[in-house]
Every structure is written in C-alpha cells, then in structure tokens.
C-alpha cells in the first residue's frame, strides 16, 4: 500500500490538522526548566545540543573540553540525535545566531526562541510520527477490503493522534520523542507489509536516535527471526543475512564519524549508558522505585543492581519473545511490543518517567483492537508522569488532554464493538454485557484514583517527614497498574490470531 493509493486524503488531512492544532495549543504552555537556573531543564538541554553540534567539531561532541562542559547538559543521546541537533542549530544560525552562541546563549528564554523550538518539534511530528500513525490506522482498517470505512478511519486516527503522553512530553515538557517513536511506527508498518529488511533499517535508525528504543528491540528480534524460520533453511538464511547486513550498514553509517577512533566510540557509549546515575531517577513508576519504599536500593552496590535488573529484564522479556518466535504474526507482534516496553520500564536499570512512552506507542497502535484496555493503559501512562508534568507547570493541559482523549475514545471507538468488522454482528450474551459493565466500573474507579492522587500532588499539604508522600503514592499506584496490564497483555498475546493475513471479506466498493 503506497501513499499514492490513499483515498479521502482531504478527510484524513483535516484530522491531522486537528491533531497539529492540539499540539500547538499544548506548546503555548510552559516547558521543562522555564525560569529555573542554573541548569534549567530538557528544553535547555535540546537547545544546548544544537549549539554544541553546530559550533564544535564532531570529535568534541561527546568529550569534556574547554568549550564543551559535559556537566552542563552534555550530549548523551546517540549520533542520529546529534545530527538532528546540528540541522536545528544550522537553521537557528540562519534565523538568529544569538540562540546558539556558545556559551553566551545558555539559558536563553526569549519568546522568539521558544517559538523556534516549538516549531522544530511540530515539524518533526509532522514529518515522521503523524504520517506513521495515519498509515498504520489506514492499513489496519482498509485491510477488510473496499473503502467504506472512511469515517471510522478518521475517527480512529483522531484518537490515536491525541494519545496524551507523547503530546505532553514533546510539546509541553519538550523533547523530540516523535522522531524515534515515528521511526518505530514506520518499522511496524514495514513489517506488516512483509518488508523485513526495511523494517530492520527503520528500527536501527530509531535505536541510533534514542537508545531507549532498546526497550522494543527483543520483540523485533524474535519476530524477524521467527519470520526467517518460517521461510525455510535456505531462504531463511538469506533473509537473516540480508537483515543482519542492513542493520550493520545502518549502524556503520550512523556511527561513521566515531568508529575510526576507539576512544571516540567508547566515549559515546559511556555517555549513552551512565550506570553511575543509579537504578532509577526521581519517583518513576517502576518496580525498583516501589521496592525502594521498603528496601533502600540506592545504598546497594550499583554493579549488583545492574546485574539483577538485567537478568530479571531479560527473563521477563523472553516469555513473550519465545511465544513470538514460535508463532510470529502481526497481532502477537503488537502485543509483544507492549509487553517488551513494559518489562523494560518496570525492571531495567536507569529508568526515568518518560520511558513509558515506549510501551505507550504499541498500545496506541492497538487502540482499534483493544479500545477500552488501551485507553485505560494510555491514561495510566500519562498520569504516571504527572509529577514531572506538574513540575513543568503542565497540570491543566494534562487534565484537559486526558479528559478530551477519554471522551473521543469512548465516542469514536465504541468500546463494546468487536475487534474486527466481521465479528460485530455476533450476538453478545448477558454474561458478556455484565463483564463489560464490570470492566467499565473498574476503569472508572482506577481513573478516579489517578485524578485524586494527581490532585493531591498539587494541592495536598506537604509533610516535613514525608515530603514526597503523594508523588510516591502515585508512582506505586501507577506501578501496580502497569504490572496488572503486563499480565493482561501477555494473556492477550498468547491468544492473538493474525489479522492482516486473514482472507479479506467481500465488501461493496465505495463510489
């Protein structure tokens, strides 16, 4: 399916414009570190990387030098992020060189510069993430033949584009997660078209943009390996060789300026994996932070914690990985992506709040199939980051966007609808209706709990003995949800049947 084969592009384009408008409305709010010297926040980090990459030679980007103080937001993302920063820095130099005047521009907060930074994030979203989401929703819905579902397609795209977590982090807090998440989404799209080599290249690009994409590496590995196994020994080896060569070539091109000197390459790796920071940051909603309430893990040996977390993460990932290897299909793959992202977020070393975006992306892609569960999960993902968003002055946008997302999901996705159109006409017995109502009641109670705890983080009194009480309660509450969702999505993966490879039912052509 090529982009030129899309019909009703003006309707889909209108939905995309609406998604862009919502992003722009969020972007007029404060950002990370606004007015908080001397370090400011992620907004300043992204700006600083632009001036570092534009003003300094490549050999100094990751090294501590007289012109590059690594203690002040030193570059700690892979090379593709650095190249993107250089492009933005070059553009900034054409518009106003004072925005990237190293080091005089540190902490710059002019309205014109804020506009420039916000526009760069919007453009990255428009170029990569938004088209990928549209393509995947279109691919999933139009598989059933003909084009009678344009209203449904537009509704599903609208809900997927308004998943709150990515919008609030990229266009509120300020980052460029849309690039790596968009590349991963395009990799899923390529896999659905059985373009395995292209998928491997796209995912490798995502890894070279943001190394946290490793959260989803094992599902891609097991799925592609399973596909090679299905092709037979001879053809499978050819496919595996082609995939391996594509991955090596992609990494070689991305790392080309750094691979000639071992010191440069090792310094980049040291910047990407800073084990000295500890097993988690702030009050992240994972197992280690929750366990730290009882057992003070920060006092333990870092090497021991890294080993234990690595073993548990790998073990947890292999459960869904082996199932995917044994029976690779498109639907199991999407569930495995959610499970892989959740296992890494809950158990891996050096996790921070924004890591949940890696599990939120595949859940967004499953909204059509699991509207109620995925809406619930995406809401939990958003509220798990509320302490970070509150610190940035984004409480009102968070509540507003979550409420809007829940409303659109309920109105457009029809939570009682079956996952595929041919199943919609099956009669539902009374027990199924009771189960639906029970799940809906649980969801209402759960979301109410998130709202109450989030409001407590903002308005409840702070006790001197427990200054982080409400933040910690919200983190533990979120972690409990993620553990239960991990169990649920594993169960769903084990029973998942292929969708994109099923025979198409006959439908009337649209006029």
**DSSP letters along 396-461, please?**
HHHHHHHHHHHHHHHHHH-TTS-SSGGGTTSPP-HHHHHHHHHHHHHHHHHHHHHHHHHHHHHHSP
Intra-chain end-to-end CA distance of the chain, in Å: 20
CA 503 to chain centre: 32
Q: 281: closest CA among 338, 348, 210, 377?
A: 348
What pLDDT was estimated at residue 300? 79
pTM over 0.75: yes
Q: Which run of H or of E encompasses 116?
A: helix 111-124
Quote the pLDDT of residue 6. Answer: 52
Please give the angle made by the CA atoms of 410, 414 and 416, to the nearest 5 degrees: 115
Position 425 scores a pLDDT of 44
* 351 SS3 class: strand
At 466, is the secondary structure helix, strand, or coil? strand
Cβ-proximal residues to 23 (8 Å cutoff; 6+ apart), any chain: 122, 125, 167, 170, 171
Residue 300: closest CA among 288, 290, 310: 288
What confidence score (pLDDT) does residue 2 get?
Answer: 47
* Whole-angstrom distance, CA of residue 388 vs CA of residue 156: 29
In a structure prediction context, what are the per-residue pLDDT tens digits for the chain, which is 511 residues long? 444 445 578 889 999 999 999 999 999 999 999 999 889 999 999 999 999 999 999 999 999 999 999 999 999 999 999 999 999 999 999 999 999 999 899 999 999 999 999 999 999 999 999 999 999 998 887 765 445 478 888 999 999 999 999 999 999 999 999 999 999 999 999 999 999 999 999 999 999 999 999 999 999 999 999 999 998 889 999 999 999 999 999 999 999 999 998 898 999 999 998 766 666 667 789 998 888 888 877 777 778 888 899 999 999 999 999 999 999 999 999 999 999 999 999 999 888 899 999 999 999 999 999 999 999 999 999 999 999 999 999 999 999 999 999 999 999 997 875 444 444 444 455 667 788 888 889 999 999 999 999 999 999 998 888 888 999 999 999 999 999 999 999 999 999 888 765 544 444 343 3
What is the model's pLDDT at position 297?
74
Cis amide leading into 38 (omega within 30)? yes
Phi, psi for residue 466 in degrees, rounded to 5 = -130, 75
Residue that has been written with the tokens 């449904």 in this structure: 152
Q: Alpha carbon of 93 to those of 82, 84, 102, 108, 344: distances in Å?
A: 16, 14, 12, 15, 39
User: pLDDT at position 45, please?
Assistant: 96
Question: 16: helix, coil or strand?
Answer: helix
Are 305 and 349 spatial neighbours (Cβ–Cβ below 8 Å)?
yes
């Amino acid at each position: 399916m090529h982009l030129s084969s899309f019909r009703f592009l003006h309707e889909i384009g209108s939905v995309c414009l609406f998604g862009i408008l919502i992003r722009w409305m969020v972007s007029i709010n404060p950002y990370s570190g606004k007015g908080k010297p001397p370090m400011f926040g992620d907004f300043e980090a992204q700006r600083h990387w632009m001036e570092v990459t534009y003003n300094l030679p490549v050999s100094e980007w990751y090294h501590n030098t007289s012109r590059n103080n690594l203690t002040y937001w030193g570059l700690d993302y892979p090379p593709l992020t650095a190249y993107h920063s250089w492009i933005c820095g070059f553009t900034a130099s054409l518009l106003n060189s004072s925005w990237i005047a190293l080091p005089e521009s540190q902490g710059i907060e002019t309205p014109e510069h804020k506009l420039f930074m916000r526009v760069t994030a919007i453009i990255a979203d428009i170029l990569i993430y938004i088209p990928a989401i549209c393509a995947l929703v279109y691919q999933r819905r139009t598989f059933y033949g003909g084009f009678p579902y344009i209203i449904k397609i537009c509704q599903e795209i609208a809900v997927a584009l308004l998943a709150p977590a990515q919008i609030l982090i990229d266009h509120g807090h300020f980052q460029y997660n849309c690039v790596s998440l968009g590349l991963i989404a395009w990799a899923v799209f390529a896999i659905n078209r059985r373009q395995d080599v292209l998928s491997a290249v796209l995912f490798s690009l995502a890894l070279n943009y943001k190394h946290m994409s490793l959260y989803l590496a094992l599902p891609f590995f097991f799925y592609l390996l399973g596909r090679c196994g299905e092709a037979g020994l001879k053809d499978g080896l050819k496919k595996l060789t082609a995939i391996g060569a594509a991955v090596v070539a992609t990494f070689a091109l991305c790392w080309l300026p750094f691979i000639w000197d071992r010191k440069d390459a090792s310094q980049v790796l040291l910047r990407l994996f800073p084990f000295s920071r500890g097993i988690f940051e702030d009050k992240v909603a994972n197992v280690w932070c929750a366990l730290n309430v009882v057992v003070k893990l920060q006092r333990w040996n870092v090497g021991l914690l890294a080993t234990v977390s690595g073993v548990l993460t790998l073990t947890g990932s292999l459960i869904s990985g082996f199932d995917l290897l044994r029976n690779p299909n498109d639907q199991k793959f999407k569930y495995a992506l959610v499970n892989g992202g959740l296992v890494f977020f809950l158990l891996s070393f050096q996790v921070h709040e924004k890591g949940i975006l890696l599990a939120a992306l595949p859940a967004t892609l499953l909204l059509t199939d699991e509207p109620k569960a995925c809406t619930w999960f995406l809401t939990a993902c958003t509220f798990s980051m509320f302490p970070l968003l509150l610190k940035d002055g984004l409480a009102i946008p968070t509540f507003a966007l979550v409420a809007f997302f829940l409303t659109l999901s309920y109105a457009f996705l029809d939570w009682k609808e079956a996952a595929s159109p041919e199943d919609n006409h099956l009669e539902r017995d009374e027990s199924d209706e009771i189960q639906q109502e029970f799940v809906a009641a649980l969801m209402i109670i759960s979301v109410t709990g998130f709202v109450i705890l989030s409001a407590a983080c903002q308005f409840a009194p702070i006790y001197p003995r427990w200054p982080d009480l409400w933040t910690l309660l919200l983190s533990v509450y979120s972690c409990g949800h993620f553990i239960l969702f991990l169990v649920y999505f594993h169960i769903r993966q084990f029973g998942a049947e292929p969708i994109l490879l099923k025979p198409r039912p006959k439908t009337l052509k649209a006029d």
